[in-house]
Structure 1
Amino acid sequence: MISEDYVSKEAIANSSWKGPLSKGHYKAIFSTIALALSLAIATNQNLYSFSGFSSEESVPENNEVIASTVAEPNEEIPLAQAFGITSNKSKEQFENYDDTLNEADLADSDDLLDKEVSALASKTDKADAETFGAKWVTENVQKGDSISSLFEDLNIPASTLANIIETNKPVSKKINSLKIGEKLSFLVDSKGELIVFIKPISDKEQLRFYKVDNTGKFACTTEKLNSYVMDDDAVNAAKALAEAPSAKTDTKVVASAEKQAVPSVAAEQKEKKEVPAGNKRGRLVVVTINKGETFSTAANHAGITYTEINRILQMFKGKIQFSRNIQAGDTMRVLFTDANGKGKICAVEFQLAKGGKIASYLNAADGKYYDEKGLNATHSSFSRFPFRSRVRVTSQFNPSRKHPVTGIRRPHNGVDFGLPVGTMVTAPADGIVDKATFSRSAGYWLTIRHSGGLSTVYMHLSKINVRPGQRIKQGTVIARSGNTGLSTGPHLHYEIRVNGRAVNPLRINLDNRNYNINSKARKAFAASVQRYKKELHQSNLIAKR
């Protein structure tokens, strides 16, 4: 039989045949393999150091941080530097370009309810429409900052800054002049648009820029440092002014006894609130959710206006998920400062089958609302990082980032931390789990709503330990880091959002989330809380039907 394999036949016939390659070829191959192995070992060592799998020997101590034990940084140096967090610019090829989700996926589960109540509120009280979602955010000027980088950290469009400078050219130099340690304040509405911007210009004065109409123009006023009252009334007036037609922008500045007030709209328009026909309310209003009723419908039938309902919804963000936690039989008690349900809301208490008692009380000292935890808070109620381990930043916050290949703008709305798979991820603050699910790009991911208009997002997790609608405490283990979804390596993608708009997690000032007051003010608030608790259950304060 003649073989069809000519080479094999020849090899069998010739016993001296040793193979198709010479000894020189074999030497070259083995040398190449040895070199490749050496390079692979060196490359892996650097890669693990970069991604967070660092050991004591491979990464210097000054490039690492234990997030749970580090103290608050000096305002005069960059936050990342103060915490010992570093990133290697030369390794941008390791960035994740697919760790984004649609804004619709990240929207608050109560978003539809918010919009419905806001629309109803606008029909009865136009001056207060859509004002309660606006929040104050502050930024401390650090080394290397520019005015444009500060706006970028808060994800405020560059066009807004250009608008402010263009319409206020005489003070443009003062806008661009920054001093380390200065504190800049921004009032951002629920749509992410800037309403008020405050910048110090000396030890005694500040510039306040405020949106004057619906054209987007900003006016400027010079005033005493810290003279602007940053409370709910300031939000209402500033928002109303911004939404006014341009022909009605000649507003007056009203001076108070101690501080300069906001540009004012008509007083009678601010105070006028419609109560449903046939409902005469007392200083205390009790709402019971009946079967088949929604929260907003039940509250309005009991005598609470939609504007007040809107305020309550925002007051309990991060504490109650109204689309999940409210059910038939639950009750709400609303206490006002004055008789006949007039004045401000001074206390609200919910009694829920899913969640128990949840309350919020007015602090007369600053016009804001706190729960009882505020009485004993001595440190930040919002931790800087959601983990307790050594970390390295593998990708920075960059809302203007472009894909290196396609050139398409692909914002990086968070910070990527290199963490080994299985690292514990903890809640940075009290909150309520809004979503916990899986997507092709983000892998296992979840969002948590916190008070103060804040929310946090976590992506590429290996395990989720919580469920939607669950209330959690600061420090609770909510997940384990991983490498799921479209990920280039084990890491945690972490976002902080204000009113749903991403901000730089390494830069946002969390100090304004503290409740640090002197002992005298704290005693006054504690006394008020005890009084409110009693009055919330005094039947004689309820209007007689």
Structure 2
Amino acid sequence: MLRILHSLPRTHKLLLLPVATMVTVLGAQKIVTTYQDVQRTHQTLDTVLVPLEADARPGLPSLTFDRSPVADAIEIATQALDATRSHVPLASLTATEIVDLDLIESASAAGADPEVPLALARPAEAPGQPQPSRLDDGAVHMAVVIGTIGSGMLDHDGGLVADATSYEEVPDEELALFDEGPILLEQEIAAAEPYVPEWQTYTVQQGDTFAVMAQNHLGLGYSEVLRLLDQLPDQNALTRWRAGNSFDYQLDEDGRLLALRLMRNARSGFLVERDEADGFDVATIERAGEATQRLFAGTVSGSFARSAQATGLSSTEVTELTRVLSKKLDFRRDTRRGDRFQVLVESDIIDGDSFDPRVLAVQYEGERLDLTLVRNGTDNNFYTPDGESLDPAFNRYPFEGSYRLSSNFNPRRKHPVTGRISPHKGTDFAMPIGTPIRAPADGRVEKVGNHPAAGRYIVVRHDNGYRTRYLHLSRPLVSRGDRVTMGERIALSGNTGRSTGPHLHYEVLVNNSQVDPMKVKLPENKSLTGEQLMAFQRQAEPLLAALQSGQTGTVVAQARRDEVDD
């Protein structure tokens, strides 16, 4: 039994202690009652007989008592203690009540009358009062034995559970059931709970370095710090700090780093976790934002870029807007004070910050040009509401008919007289003076001039970004800043400047560098037709409605998304 008690948790021992004490005290009460009877009949202690119950079996005496609910234990113990201090007769206490938790060591008579029962007391000695008689050691021992047996060694009928014997010695350390110091239930319960790491936040202070901070706060050694930095896709995230930046981390029970979460911005960051091999695993964090549409409206006043920024557009959004409009709009010549524009922008909003802004639609109402463009979600290109592309087809030849190619594009050409390298950066077509020259694609006339070597010439900047030059003309038909369309007559061929005969010198420039006009890859017609056009127009309808509303601010974008999903 002692082994069982010793194996129990300390908190269980506390719960069993009151039960064992109650049984022991009740057994002691039984002995005291018997001792009173002996005093009345003047028997000697060595002939004391413990009276048995009427239904008791042979063996040890029965200690069967009615049990009081455990909930009443405190109240009953208090009553018993008060009774002891006030010399209340023991007979007035029922067997179910709990008396003083101390083992009875003495008993005294309340008077000469043998009918008056003994009372439990430890009063100070006073002259003239009868002195208490101490209980025999045998009675004390019997109380301990009865209490031990009553705590569980008897069956329900009062008989022995088994032959009461022992063949093994119990070590002293196993007998010390409560020698582990004071028991604090809160500490015992807390010790049984599993350790759960909590996220903590560290704010970077002026002069902090990750290596020093990691050793002081994260329990990392210098070699671990270097190994962690090597595994990060971007070491600058931990080495180039700014005071006020922060990151989250978790520590184990020993104060060593378990996990570290670092956000470079509201959208992306890294998660570092310790693995089973005591190394680190690094994962990338990507937060998805909520797509939000905003409508901006403004009026041109001076520079278009400054006018656009005045509406609240960010620098990134202004850059994309000017890139889109520049294919149709010359900001230096086509914009006029008082021109109006509206821009519908969509971006991902995370924690109040805007990410990945996208121009969805733009409407420009100007003195020289009216233009409406809508982004096509299928190919991310911009079209007019009718499906016309900003990058129309580009003709290979700037004229109609067929004319002989008199000199090819040749950057390594040698001069026929000097023998030196004299690059020919265009293509010459021999043709009669006055042959119409036509624009190979939509664009705007960038320059009209006259040069001693090139003669009369024209430069056109096209909507797809290409530029073309026409030299040795007899007469230009357009002026600087004019808008031209594919196939429109722009000049007449001639023989001006340094020329050996009537011809057209034709150049194509890509990224401000001359290329071979006969070999350069030219854009094809990308205008939408058929089902593609119908799908685009369904998608563009809510965007155009938002532009027409004129209500700046946040715009509900769900309608457009539903249209696309259908």
- Length-normalised TM-score, structure 1: 0.45
* Relative contact order higher in (CA < 8 Å, ≥ 6 apart): 1
Greater Rg over alpha carbons, structure: 2
- Length-normalised TM-score, structure 2: 0.43
